């Protein structure tokens, strides 16, 4: 087989890249080791920046998002028992975020790809990017007992943190930066109306909590828990009782509980790979960087990577220019590190850190008090939360 761009990974970043390339007239094939059902079954984030919304529109995958997504003009910070609203829309000159689940984004991208008859190979095993430091890269994989090879001009590694693409990069040419946090997020998904029409980020003496949502009838809640906790340690009843203890009286009274559709514990880490290009293989999304979910940046960073990469490939094929692919890594990393900083800052400000003591608690309270009572502080949070522009 022969294609122009071989994309490894059929998550939202790989699917979005494939659709953007198709719209630009660039042939591509996606190779995914898991089944389509498995990819759709992964529960992930649900806050989309305007950049991501615009890219989905450009990809022709925004119809259902526009019908069912929930535009949000603000968020609420809860500390010392009281909520304080951050007016995202007013502080950023009219920008907002869209609440729409990553699962739904993935489903929409799968459907438009299928409608166009584009090739996606699911359940491919032993996927290997090869010869990517030459001008004739290939992707090899096994399917139905046979070895297949795709010749291509470029390889896009959109296969996530545990994928083969970053692992295949020459060890003498790659550098990683990592921070692991001493806690995780216990998440619960339920078919219950959200406790508030906007997200609530809570800093409490019992630990962080987040009240989020996927729709007007489906909610997603999170609790900070020790890394030693197991999902089976937490019954639905125990989760709801602990969440109530971390909310203000009004939210506690408005909380509607119900059986969980899914519960899981996710550890928190900050991780960046430099560079994001190795010859003719380019890393994008979680393959290159991970952020703690506190800043709602994971999917949005992946989308901005894909935005840069699709533009770079378009310039290469339409203008015979390599300028975009040459600056891809530097361009992405500039944005990545700003999002890493914001996510680290939000995490540091809102969570309980074991062994940090009362001094750290007082500093957090002072930081939160400054943010909600300073227009400059509120604006800085707001402009980072809605997403910095692509430059």
Tell me which residue of 124, 148, 167, 361 sits closest to 278, measured CA to CA.
167
Which residue in 95, 293, 308, 328 is the catalytic one? 293
Strands 200-203 and 74-79: parallel
Can you tell me the distance from the alpha carbon of 331 to that of 276, in angstroms, rounded to the nearest whole number? 10
**Strands across the sheet containing 200-203:** 82-87, 74-79, 200-203, 209-213, 219-225, 175-190, 260-274, 289-290
297 is catalytic: yes
Instruction: Work out the end-to-end distance of the chain between its first and last CA atoms, rounded to an integer number of angstroms.
Output: 36
Maximum alpha-carbon separation in the chain: 63
Can you tell me the distance from the alpha carbon of 129 to that of 132, in angstroms, rounded to the nearest whole number? 7
ω before 275 within 30° of 0 (cis)?
Answer: yes
23 is catalytic: no
Which residue in 95, 289, 297, 351 is the catalytic one? 297
SS3 of 25-93: CCCEEEECCCCHHHHHHCCCCCEECHHHHHHHHHCCCCHHHHHHCEEECEEEEEECCEEEEEEHHHHCC
Which residue in 100, 141, 201, 328 is the catalytic one? 201
12 is catalytic: no
Can you tell me the distance from the alpha carbon of 127 to that of 8, in angstroms, rounded to the nearest whole number? 8
Which residue in 12, 72, 194, 221 is the catalytic one? 72
Contact 159, 8 (CB under 8 A): yes
292 is catalytic: no
Indicate the SS3 state at residue 226: coil
DSSP state of 389: P
72 is catalytic: yes
Tell me which residue of 277, 70, 243 sits closest to 156, measured CA to CA.
277
Residue 354's Cα: distance from chain center in Å? 26
The residues carrying an active-site annotation are 72, 201, 293, 297, 385
């Amino acid at each position: 087989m022969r294609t122009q761009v071989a994309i490894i990974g059929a998550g939202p970043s790989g699917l979005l890249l494939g659709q953007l390339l198709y719209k630009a007239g660039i042939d591509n094939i996606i190779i995914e080791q898991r089944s389509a059902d498995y990819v759709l079954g992964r529960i992930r984030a649900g806050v989309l920046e305007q950049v991501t919304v615009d890219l989905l529109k450009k990809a022709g995958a925004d119809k259902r998002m526009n019908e069912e997504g929930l535009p949000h003009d603000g968020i609420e910070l809860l500390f010392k028992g009281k909520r304080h609203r951050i007016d995202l829309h007013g502080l950023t000159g009219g920008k907002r975020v869209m609440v729409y689940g990553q699962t739904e984004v993935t489903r929409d991208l799968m459907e438009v790809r299928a409608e166009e008859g584009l090739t996606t190979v699911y359940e491919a095993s032993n996927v290997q990017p090869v010869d990517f430091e030459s001008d004739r890269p290939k992707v090899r994989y096994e399917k139905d007992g046979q070895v297949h090879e795709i010749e291509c001009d470029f390889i896009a590694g959109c296969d996530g943190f545990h994928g083969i693409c970053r692992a295949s990069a020459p060890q003498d040419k790659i550098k990683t930066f990592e921070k692991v946090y001493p806690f995780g997020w216990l998440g619960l998904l339920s078919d219950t109306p959200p406790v508030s029409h906007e997200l609530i980020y809570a800093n409490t003496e019992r630990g962080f909590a987040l009240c989020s949502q996927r729709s007007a009838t489906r909610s997603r809640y999170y609790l900070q828990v020790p890394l030693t906790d197991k999902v089976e340690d937490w019954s639905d009843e125990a989760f709801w009782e602990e969440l109530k203890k971390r909310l203000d009286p009004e939210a506690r009274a408005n909380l509607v509980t119900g059986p969980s559709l899914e519960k899981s514990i996710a550890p928190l880490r900050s991780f960046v790979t430099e560079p994001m290009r190795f010859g003719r293989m380019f890393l994008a999304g979680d393959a290159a960087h991970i952020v703690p979910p506190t800043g709602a940046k994971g999917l949005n960073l992946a989308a901005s990577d894909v935005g840069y990469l699709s533009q770079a490939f378009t310039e290469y094929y339409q203008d015979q220019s390599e300028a975009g692919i040459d600056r891809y890594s530097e361009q992405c990393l500039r944005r990545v590190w700003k999002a890493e900083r914001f996510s680290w800052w939000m995490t540091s400000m809102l969570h309980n850190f074991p062994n940090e003591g009362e001094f750290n608690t007082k500093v957090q309270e002072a930081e939160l008090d400054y943010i909600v009572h300073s227009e400059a502080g509120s604006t800085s949070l707001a402009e980072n939360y809605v997403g910095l522009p692509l430059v």
